[in-house]
Amino acid sequence: MNEQEVMKEKAILVGCQLPHVSDERFSYSMEELAALTKTADGTVVSTVTQKRNRVDAATYIGKGKVDELAVLCEELSPDVLIFNDELSPSQLKALVTTLDVKIIDRTQLILDIFAKRARTREGKLQIELAQLQYALPRLSGQGINLSRQGGGIGTRGPGETKLETDRRHIRNRIHEINVQLSTVIRHRSRYRERRKKNGVLQIALVGYTNAGKSTWFNRLTDADSYEENLLFATLDPMTRKMMLPSGYSVLLSDTVGFIQDLPTTLIAAFRSTLEEVKEADLILHMIDSSHEDYEGHEETVKRLLEELEADDIPVLTVYNKRDRKRPDFIPSSGRGHIMTSAKIDGDLPLFKQAVEDYLKKELLVPYDVRIPASEGRLLSRIKSETMTNSTVFDEDREAYEVEGYILPDQNILGELKKYM
């Protein structure tokens, strides 16, 4: 065992399966909780599950299971118990009192990972806001957790000292963060408006966490977004220029990965970041075709896009990792999908060509103009602001015949209409 393994916290996972959740979905959910624990630098030493008609109002799981957990804690001495659901403040307080061990839930685990991953000032502010909003109603139930100094899973971000202060201080801090974030939101909004005015086409890359978005983002844009085989490897959004085969440039945004049961506090906190998705002209929805629950992942992302009111934006579905796709894989998106893999060299040009073809078919309108050679400035704008197919010089007319595609609401279209 190396030193890093020794430092990892030992965790017991706890899940409760309700009647509306199938065995398969529950199994995937518990596997995902284990993956989240690994991402938060924890080691799973045991898993405890229970089937119930409804969760216990007092302790989430039944009294018998609580007793079983107490014996397991004696035997394994875990550092933390992680519940696969959001615990109410009273449930958390009752469990902490009975079991005398640090307890966190799925929401707190996800918040913890986000706190670890945040790099930009905006990302850190959004995480702190989500953590404080989550902590506020749970202050009284956190006594034992907060008295244990030394960090660990579920204690990153605002930290113990902030959570030990009174509610008024936390509310004041929430207000401060909201004020700071509103400035960032205004700046981001102005930046988006400028891009729209300049007629720059915007594409958002979305998908379930760990679907391969950042890997493809790096290939498509020559960027250096963080990529690793972990959940939520990317947190802070990045926007870079992507060159299509025709030479037309678009802006591609990498976004935070979605996940089932994504905490509502996170959706609210990251709304300004997720605005990049809402403002996009096209969404590239990336799905890991090698994952057992790829259909569930696809549905989760679609549901979250509906919540963000972004479900009316055209979507090109990208089934990734085709080199490892499941034998029973069937593309569920009948209209507008491609199969690809970042590990296959020839797939990069094919991916870009598919994006260009989709834009021509779904978003852009064709144009055919004859521009006098004297209109050098307009010709330059046509080259940079539209997707040109061909440019031929007619010596007799001393004009350029240009064919291409353009966004229907683009400013330059008015000028082009004079020469159609």
In whole angstroms, give the CA distance from residue 8 to residue 229: 18
Residues contributing to the annotated binding site for GTP: 207-214, 232-236, 254-257, 320-323, 341-343
Contact 30, 13 (CB under 8 A): yes
Q: Taking the CB of residue 226, how many other CB atoms lie within 10 A of it?
A: 15
Rg (CA), the chain: 25
Binding residues for Mg(2+): 214, 234
CA-based nearest residue to 15, from 41, 46, 40, 48: 48
Give yes or no for a contact between 284 and 213, defined as CB atoms under 8 angstroms apart: no
Alpha-carbon gap, residue 389 to 210, rounded angstroms: 36
* Residue 282: strand pairing partners: 203
Is there a contact between 394 and 400 (Cβ–Cβ < 8 Å)?
yes
With b for 16 or more beta-carbon neighbours within 10 A and e for fewer, the 199-209 pattern comes to: bbbbbbbbbbb
